[in-house]
Structure 1
Amino acid sequence: MSKSFKLVDLERPSSTPSPHPPQTNWKLCIICQEEKGEALTCPSQSKRQDVGSGYRSLAQNLMKFQELELLGTLKLERLDEGHGIEAAMVTNTAQYHQTCRLKYNNTKLQRAEKRTLQTEGDSQDIPAMSKRTRSHSRSSTTESKAQELCFFCGQPAGADGLHEATMLPLDRRVRTCATFLEDTELLAQLSVGDMVALEAKYHTKCLVGLYNRVRKAKSEGHEDTDHERRVSAIVFAELVLYIEETRCDEETAPVFKLADLAQLYQSRMEQLQVKVNTKVHSTRLKQRLLAQFPDMRTHNKGRDILMVFEEDVGAVLVKACELDSDNDAVYLARAAQIIHRRMFGEAKPFNGFPNRCQEESVPSHLLALVSMILEGPSIKDQMEDTSRSALGIAQMLKFNSIKHRRNRDNSSSLTVRHSAAQVTPVPTYIGLMLHAHTRKRDLVERLSHLGMSISYDRVLELSSQMGNSVCEQFYREQVVCPPTLRGKVFTTAAVDNIDHNPSATTAKESFHGTSISIFQHLSYTGEGVDRSVVINEGLVNASSKIIGHLPQYYTDVPPVTSNVKMSSVPAARLASLNRSDSSQLRKHTEDENVWLHNTKQVLEDENETHDNTSWAAFHASHQPPEARVVCHNALLPLFLDSAHTVAMIRHSMDVVTKAVQYLNPGQIPVVAFDQPLFALAKQIQWTWPEDYGEDKLVVMFGGLHIEMAALKTLGDWLQGSGWVNALVQAEITTPGTADSFVT
């Protein structure tokens, strides 16, 4: 049975034309005949009194659109079963998508009729505008004949004749070409006006010659790089596989348009971030395809070039269509050899996870092969960006690849030793993440044996390298300040005791030390100076798992000989309140009155429920929405010394002061303590005012202790005021619970 030739549509899947008109599937949308995620609308199920009026209006609009020849691909013949379109819709309980119905609504119909009337009116006005007197026609004809010269070469019409410029896009393109070529003579002619207003005439070959000059100048100024040549080879291979897949159809013989293939080739190149300055050279692409397919022939049809396969070349067609397992095995071996050769390179030191580290860690050929395996080798399937799954699998393949197999007697105990050049970001990240979250060596080693993670020893090496790099930065900056903190940002600190397993003070697993936390309050995202550390893997002891020492000024806590308990409390320096400007106080008082008025309305209205009745909820609902910025925080290395000592509190104040002065020079340090440590800090300020005075260091309660102190003060005020009796008499709570509120 001979094949029927069919032109391949590269935009949508082609289908064999049916000799009979298509039948309507009344269970689908009657307009598009497709299944979408959108729900179907059936006018017969409407609750209106005039059921079925939706069918009537749709049928009328479709008939009017057909008269205007604006129906598009919709054929009204398949909706008419002999008694009219409306009757067929009612009989079959027709359904449609609302988006499809909107294409033929009354608004679209009125606009289409208006455009049609305007077009007809313009066509009727043309003859009236072109009427001239006999004498005027003669003079204009004589002048035009005398001036009929080519706009580009200045020569008369000749045998080829002249064409008149009638469209402004032609003028814009000619101006662009003249500007690109820096043709001063042509630019001088165009400076008088556009070609349409000048009634310019030209030879076709002169205009084509101008376009060819521009294309040649662009192609000469661009030289393909190695990356562009590699990407071009990959895209051409995908195009060849697409043609082969289309060719495997046994029922039809595909016919390709060279222009469509060139456009598909250019789109794929641009998607792979290869800038194509000029149009794809279709002739060169045709020659490459003919070299790839010896049985392909080209035929000219007007301006289009059609490419088909020659049926009678029996040997070539049989070899191309048969699925020969031997050839497939050879192709697989060659592909594996090509990819394996490109998977080995130079070792790169670990430097964290910068941007595009995953894409740069694997060769482009390996990534293209994995994408073809996952998504299909056709060029139509490769139009999307590289998926994260393909990128991860490619990294795992490179991580587990070896140059030569190691022969051993016991093959079951063979352990793959990964070269530093083959380590990719994904297995490194998996090993570091598991160790940071679980601290379990067995889990990391198990994934390492499966080829999914780096070894536990490598995790310890990288952890040591990161710690040593941070310690080097501490020594270089002469201050212990984590690299995650940013410079020139308002910074505060908090000091507290940290206890682990406090059941016994002498237990081996217990810990009673001091912690210092640094907080940075950013006004906007990205504020300040970045202080990210660069991991240094080129050290002499890079493979060591020992972390260096911290600076001595940080680890050594100097002793204190003075007795701070006997220090005298200095007189408080109070600043008088300025009551001249009472606008702010008046505003806050008015806000409180508004809340009281709202509370009164809530209490009087017993039927409706209100959300914002409390003081906090009411004021929170009236605050303007603000973009919250995440604050940076870091925990400094822990101290083994107990926090409840004057020496440790004084040393922590020194550490915070030095860190704040380094991060944000000129800022007064602000340190928060809990209540016992706050008392020690204030005594230190009173004992050494020249170093830790209140003008040099701000010492304050933490947020929790401020709230606890405020509530305790309110309880002292309410003690003995009759508050407990009022709550009990109002039957709100019991005496014991009411007394607990106060105390």
Structure 2
Amino acid sequence: MDSCIICGGTEAGCLLKLREKGSRGINIASKKRRDTLNAIPGQSVHLDCRKNYTNPIRINKYLKDSLNNGQPDDTSVKLLRSKDVFSFPDHCLFCGCQAKNNNLKRGNDVFPVRTHDFQASIIDICLERQDEWSDTVYGRIQSVNDLHAADAIYHQTCSVNFRTKKNVPSAFSTPSKEIKKGRRVDAKVQQAFEDIFIYLEDHENDQHKLSDLVDRMGRLCGNEAYEPWYLKKKLQDRFGRDIIMTESHGKSTIITVRKAAESILHDFHKQKFKDAKEEEISVISTAAKLIKSKIQELPTQNDFYPLPSELEKCNYNISHLPEHLSKFLQQICGERNDLRIAAIGQCITQATRPRSYTAPLQIGLGVQLHHHFASRFLIDTLHNLGFCSSYSEVQRFETSAAYSQGTDIPEYKPGQCVQFVADNVDHNLRTIDGHNTFHGMGIIAGSTPGGDAGQTPVPKLNVVPSDLILKGKINITYYKAPPKSSIKIVFPKLKLEKIEDSTKNLDMVARIIWPLRAPTPSWSGLMHMCQTGQHPGKTTITFLPMIDMDSSDMSCIYSTMVFIVNQAQKYGFTPIITFDQPLYWKALTIINDGTTSNILSTVILRLGGFHAEMSFMGSIGHVMKNAGLKEVLETVYASNAVTHILSGKSVARAFRAHNLVETALHVLLVQKFLA
């Protein structure tokens, strides 16, 4: 009959069969207890025996009793050195030492209890701490109903330590010659550190946060746990070169335990194989361990994201792979498939080091997918398959890029023409409940000729929304309209100079030959043929912060123009801003009201190209309204469409309609001329 491997009992009704996880837990507890018990799957154990054997509290008690050779622990003494009768007006409420209130003079910072809430908060902390010091303080508090009435006093340092779950300050604790408890505490802390050491060895294939290890040690030894910096030093001393610590800006240090290549090869040569198949599997397993060890050694740059220009280079992407992995993939994929080798290799590297490594191709693919599709489902699905970064990492990249830019114009060079464009921005307008919608003012800046956009690396930051709001904030300047405001549009006289234009007849030629249906270029093609010289280059577009106000609000428009003027003064260029027709009219009202002339006197206000064309088409329709133009257009378009054509609202139709009319007139003129 099966028996319990812990107690040896054979009660069949209480026996359980161990599995892989259960046997591993018993073996870990055996190491902690310094026993020789070795459990394997399939053995039997009592449920209560397993719980008691693996219980951390019982393990610590067992080790303490072992240190005392089975004798009761009589070394514990009071941490507080006050053995006199406690007096609230004369002794510190927390440490019990003599204290004296110096009436706000600097000394030991002794303060009286002034409120009843103080007593209630201390009781809550006592119930939360549940240690010897809290029991002593709780007993004192329970002896009185009102600490303020009892004239209780306390040391400020004692109060801070008690609230932050630390020990009694050394200045008010038992002298070192009276303390006999230190060795027991040191042994407890050492045992907790040994538990961390065993845990890392048992989970050498995982990556661990340093903060998680500190918390784990704190659960074993309480407030005596090592600080993060000291635990890091102790682990480095214990593991040496077999431990890798990866630090990232704004994130916890990542701990990885690895085996050196010499150790892996030594284990391989010690093995004895039954047949060729077992040897093949062992060779593959050893190769995988070697590649994993080299991946863990690979240095990573966690301070900045890669540049777009770098992601386009295969050599840069392959440089992020260890040589062993690169050679392995070349044997499988072929030496000419550099891009596939880099992509597959970075997927393997990212899967091996998910916390401490950010694959360049994976973050680049995630950002590109987000720009094109804005689908969290798509990105997270590919991330779960191991092909791209997670959606949270993509969001972190975008917030880091927005925070690092702020309200600046990156890559600006003196001499560039910068034109600002502002218009309304709408988001989430079709929500069912009408909430979480956005209607504000969006601003972009176009720099011509464009600079080398994307050549400034984006730092990896942990940005919270409040920091991002402060970084990209546009100050709101409220506009107060004058009592009477009227716009006076003044058209200055233009000084025209006679310039010989060699292309003045091209327009006439293009109109005449258009109806011939010959393979002639369009207007843009004709201008391209006539243009000489070098093109200045594409315009670089920079997205600037939005203003969370109604875009048609006068204060919103005024704040937008003030922000643009400040930007122009910062970089030293003339402020040029483009609005659509409704916002243009209000902006013109603000500039001409006379009260803001000093601030906005340098602003060049422009009407957007589309609205300028719409206004021009509407002007033609208004002037030619009674000249028969409507009747001519109704031979081609419906009457309702003609109404929109003449008003300029239907720009595309109006442009084609006027072209048809002009071409028909030219044909009639040419026909009459040649007749």
For the aligned pair, the TM-score class normalised by the smaller chain equals: 0.3 to 0.5
Scaled by the length of structure 1, what TM-score is found? 0.43
Scaled by the length of structure 2, what TM-score is found? 0.47
